[in-house]
Amino acid sequence: MISKIKSFFNFKTKQSLVLVLLVLIGTKINAQDNRSFQIFQFPANKIPTIDGNSDDWKIVPKNYAVGMDQLWDDSGKQPKADPKNLDVSVKVGWVKGLNRLYFLYEAYDNYWDFSQPGLHNDTFELIVDADQSGGPFIDRFHPNPSLTNTMDAYFSYHGVHAQNYHIFTPAVDKDWTMVWGSQPWIKNLPYANASYHYDFKPGQAGKLTLEFWITPFDYAGNDPSRAIESILKENRNIGLCWAIIDYDDVNKTENNGFWNLSKEHKMYGNASYSLPFKLMPLEKQFKKEIEAKWDFKVVNMTKREVAFIDESEGEISTWNWDFGDGTTSTQQNPTHQYKEAGKYVVILKILGPKGTSQLSKVWDVAVK
């Protein structure tokens, strides 16, 4: 009887330990997921020029900046951030209609280490998983053990559904970034561009400004003709993460800190540890109080049937469509059937408490 009681308590103790472990693991995972960030939408007439000058970014509110207060040194070498040692700010932007992510990286370092030709270089390591597919994406993390650390996995898997940019800060006598995967073409125009501004030499202190943009991909293999760009849409989240690798002595092989935005060190090869960044709408000061916008889709070319889609912004009371063939509609999203083939000038007029707006498109709508 006594042995049965002992067995029962041992079983309950093990259950409790398992429960505690699960709670701790869950706490770590939840800690990874409880933060989110924003990506600033640049107006189409204020797209940043990639010249290493941060003036274009003055319109970005301060709340978009991600600083050292969001990073932690998961190497354990630096117990807390010290702005006299390293101070970093990152802003991310986008432009509606372009599948590009713009970055402003500003950093002060008390010792800039960039004199060697290899990976021993102060680095901004960026992870992009724009469709939030998640999961491991480098060859050493391949779920099939027979493919782990193989060239087959490198070419077919590494960096394909998420990308890792190992950006040198600064890059001297080397390309601006190493793309960790078999798709180095993504770091060049027309897929990316970068520019620096700094006035220090190796081993000196100073401030660096790095401006760049990249194109995220849902699929990016060795062959660019098969690549699929990520489609960036307003109010959607994408997966991003980064780390700052800080070297402070050219004679030391190890870094002086791995400042990670993620709570998980292996974020560099597992997109599940990225963080949600929201593609924000235009800030209020860049919006018109009322603006007519519209698009269309040919529903049936044989019947010359066209669906018109209102995309106007602002508070709207009435819509007035002129289809260019002598007919009109006051519906918000009308469908119209043209009697004759032709190219038409279509006009949308809207009215609201803040005024009126009109948009015409010349010969966009054509039916045969």
Quick check: 102 and 125 in contact, CB under 8 A?
Answer: no
Q: What is the pLDDT of residues 302-356, one digit of tens each?
A: 999 999 999 999 999 999 999 999 999 999 999 999 999 999 999 999 999 999 9
Do 288-367 and 35-279 have the same topology in CATH? Answer: yes
Hey, what are 80's tokens? Answer: 């807390």
What's the pLDDT at 325?
98
> Under CATH, which number does the domain 35-279 receive?
2.60.40.1190
Domain range annotation of the chain? 1-34, 35-279, 288-367
Distance CA 80, CA 220 (A): 37
pLDDT, tens digit (0-9, with 9 covering 90-100), for 255-294: 999 999 999 999 999 999 999 999 999 999 999 999 999 9
- CATH assignment of 288-367? 2.60.40.10
Q: Which residues of 266-285 are buried (b: 16+ CB within 10 A; e: fewer)?
A: ebbbbbbbbbebebeebeee
Average pLDDT across the chain, whole number: 92
- For 113-126, what is the mean pLDDT? 96
